[in-house]
Amino acid sequence: QLFTGYDEGLVRMEPGGFVMPPSYARNAEKIYRMQPRNDDVWLLTFPKCGTTWTCELLWLLQNNCDFEAAGKTGLTIRTPFLEMPYLSNKMQAMREMFMNVDKVEQLPSPRVLRPHFAILFASTSTARHYQVFIMQVVYVARNPKDVIVSYYFHHKLIKLHGYIGTLDEFAEYFMNDEVAYAPFFPHILDAWSKRHHPNMHFMFYEDMKRDLRGEIEKVAAFLGKSYSDEVMAKLTEHLKFDNFQKNESVNNESGKKMGAMNEDGRFIRKGKTGDWKNHFSPELNSRIDEWIEKNLADSDLKFVTEL
């Protein structure tokens, strides 16, 4: 096995059909029982689509753009991932770094939460349970070629995965829906089909790369927030890759000290659109093109793979 970090492998879960560690599957009910609030913002993403980046944006917009407060407390505490504490039995660091559901329930409003999985979309029963969309939902999509590369480096960095294979092998696992949070396409396509819902804001990583300020303004308008030009300029600067990579409250470098991450590599890694061109052989690229084409055959969703 090339994934050496999992204590019990991965399972395909119901409802939703998502691939997760069994320890998550055993605890999922706790998350499904959580009560959303109508002033919550839920950020939904497939991993590596720009979660951390967008999450910092959402938290700041919801909290008067208080940069000082943002700098004092790590993003994982300010905006909890719902599933993270349940991903491993043996990794104490996962439980220490991430807030469990009981604590999330106690957080004051307004909350910004970020479950990685498309629970709202994937299963009607779960969706009904969550009274879709009582809360505001922001969904960020990224082109799958860059997601594969980014997720590969993530798998090498994060001890939970402990991946020891090559990128080519990883891409095959990804396309076969054998990596955590797979399958990729139903996740995005479900969200895409609901993009016109008034409580849903669908956005692309590539658009944030192309026009960060413009995308920030769209999200602010969606959340009904308005800030001065000066604050918006500061926010844009704050979210630029070079500043973001250095910012210890968002860059997850603390995961190294806590034993959850390897020393080599960085969570805020490269931040480019089109990095796949540095990593894919022509053969791998054409297999991935075919896989994308097959999965988008019935959809008008189009990905931008280079800028």
**What ranges make up the beta strands (E) of the chain?**
11-12, 19-20, 41-45, 112-113, 136-141, 200-204
As a whole number of angstroms, the distance between CA 141 and CA 187 comes to: 10
Phi, psi of 12 (to 5 degrees): -90, 120
Which residue number, 47 or 183, has a Cβ lying nearer to ligand A3P? 47
Which residue number, 88 or 150, has a Cβ lying nearer to ligand A3P? 150
Which residue number, 15 or 271, has a Cβ lying nearer to ligand A3P? 271
Shortest separation between residue 112's beta carbon and ligand A3P, angstroms:
14
Beta bridge partners of 53: none
115 binds ligand A3P (CB under 6 A): no
Which of 223, 268, 301, 304 lies at the binding interface for ligand A3P (CB under 6 A)? Answer: 268
Shortest separation between residue 47's beta carbon and ligand A3P, angstroms:
6
Give, as ranges, the residues between 189 and 248 that touch ligand A3P (CB under 6 A). Answer: 239, 241, 244
275 binds ligand A3P (CB under 6 A): yes
- CB nearest ligand A3P: which residue? 271
Number of shown-chain residues binding ligand A3P (CB under 6 A): 19
Torsion of CA 18, 22, 28, 29, to 10 degrees: 120
Query: What is the crossing angle of helices 167-175 and 144-157, to 10°?
Result: 120
5 binds ligand A3P (CB under 6 A): no
The stretch near ligand A3P (CB under 6 A) out of 64-72, 186-194, 216-224, 267-275 is 267-275
Over the window 141 to 180, marking each residue x when it contacts ligand A3P by CB under 6 A and - when it does not, the resulting string is: -----x---x--x---------------------------
Which residue number, 26 or 240, has a Cβ lying nearer to ligand A3P? 240
Which residue number, 234 or 269, has a Cβ lying nearer to ligand A3P? 269
Shortest separation between residue 298's beta carbon and ligand A3P, angstroms:
26
Beta bridge partners of 200: 137
**45 closest CA partner among 204, 210, 207:** 204
CA 22 to chain centre: 20
Query: Considering Cα of 191, then 197, then 200, then 206, what sign does the dihedral take?
Result: positive
Give, as ranges, the residues between 58 and 97 that touch ligand A3P (CB under 6 A). Answer: none
Beta bridge partners of 42: 113, 137
3-state helix, strand, coil in the chain (%, to 5): 50, 10, 45
Binding site for ligand A3P (CB under 6 A): 45, 47-53, 146, 150, 153, 239, 241, 244, 268-271, 275
